[in-house]
Amino acid sequence: MWYFGGMCGRYTAVKNFDQLAKKAGAFMRGVLYVPRYNIAPTQLAPVIFQDGRQPAVKLMRWGLIPCWAKDESSDGILVNARVETLANRAAFRESFKRRRCLVPADGFYEWKEREGQRQPFRVVLRSGEPFCFAGLWDRWIRPSASEHAVASQAGAPSGETIESFTIITRAANAAVAHLHNRMPVILAPEQFTSWLAGDGPPATGQRAALEHPLDEPLKIYPVSNLVNRPKAEDPRCLEPVRIERDLFEPPWWEEE
């Protein structure tokens, strides 16, 4: 079971995010940049997080597993976290305090349904630049079979560590509201260091980042149904397609 706290169930990270990492004070040590055209839940993706005193880049699994969970599916796969629940929901509360992260991306997909047709769209910054979602991460250690009998059913050894993340969502702005009532929180580069910093209750900087996210113009365009397949890691996922303009009225997307 996947838990979507609003939306953002697929995204892209095609463009090199080295400069974004540097703006956060992190460097791409040990992480090879690979273009990603269709990142789906449970897949590994790069995350920028505070590793002690130094921000670092690491591959983590998309879909948060709280450190206290008995198994990977005890509360579903937490793909998204609603900004309104960060301070109160048990699955997010400690990560919001101590384990915030940045999720490099350059677009996300969302689907719009009408008259039985489910059409995917891609949302990007009009500038075309990569950006970072606000996220949370956690570290889960598989319990031994004696601690929890179900733990051994998946066949993985006890003591296995899984580092995972979730993407924070907020109410949609005017552009995305045509697609969905929620959207991921996109942070401005000047908010990166304050979002990552600190090991305690979120301070003014972190709360300000959530209340005043990046507000650059967005571009929305229809794409192929190829993105419906989680394993479709293909440049064609990004290509715009033409659809009937009377399928959704009034037409609010862009045609190439």
Number of domains in the chain: 1
Helices (H), 63-190: 90-98
- Rounded distance between C-alpha atoms, residue 70 and residue 60, angstroms: 19
Does residue 184 sit within a domain? Answer: yes
Q: Strand ranges (DSSP E) for the chain?
A: 2-3, 11-13, 36-39, 44-51, 54-62, 77-78, 80-82, 100-105, 107-114, 117-125, 131-141, 161-171, 182-184, 186-187, 218-222
Say which residue the tokens 């956690």 belong to.
138
Which pLDDT value is given to residue 9? 87
Determine the structural domain holding residue 218 and report its residue range. Answer: 2-238
Tell how many helices (H) and how many strands (E) occur in the chain: 4, 15
| Burial class of residue 147 in the structure, from the number of CB atoms within 10 Å of its CB (0-12 exposed, 13-18 middle, 19+ buried) | exposed
As a whole number of angstroms, the distance between CA 95 and CA 25 comes to: 20
**For the chain (length 256 residues), average pLDDT per consecutive 10?**
59 95 87 92 95 91 92 75 93 93 97 84 95 96 64 54 95 91 94 84 77 90 93 94 72 66
Query: Is 150 in contact with 142 (CB distance < 8 Å)?
Result: no
Bridge-based pairing of strands 100-105 and 131-141 is antiparallel
Backbone angles phi, psi at 122, to 5 degrees: -115, 140
135 strand-pairing partners: 101, 167
**pLDDT in the model for residue 1:** 44
**What's the one-letter identity of residue 244?**
E
Residue 254 falls inside a structural domain: no
Q: What is the length of the chain?
A: 256
* Per-residue pLDDT at 145: 62
Instruction: Tell me how far apart the alpha carbons of residues 134 and 146 are, in angstroms, rounded to a whole number.
Output: 37
List active site positions.
8, 110
Q: Does the residue 249 lie in any domain?
A: no
**Res 255: pLDDT:** 63
Domain with 169 in it: what CATH number? Answer: 3.90.1680.10
Nearest to 208 by CA among 83, 57, 111: 83
The answer to whether the beta carbons of residues 47 and 39 sit under 8 Å apart is no
Query: DSSP character for 64?
Result: B
94 alpha-carbon distance from chain centroid: 18
Half-sphere exposure for 152 (CA within 13 Å, toward CB): 6
User: pTM value?
Assistant: 0.89
Q: Which two tokens stand for residue 1?
A: 């079971």
Note the pLDDT of residue 103.
Answer: 98
CA distances (Å), 112 to each of 13, 177, 180, 223, 248, in order? 22, 11, 8, 12, 9
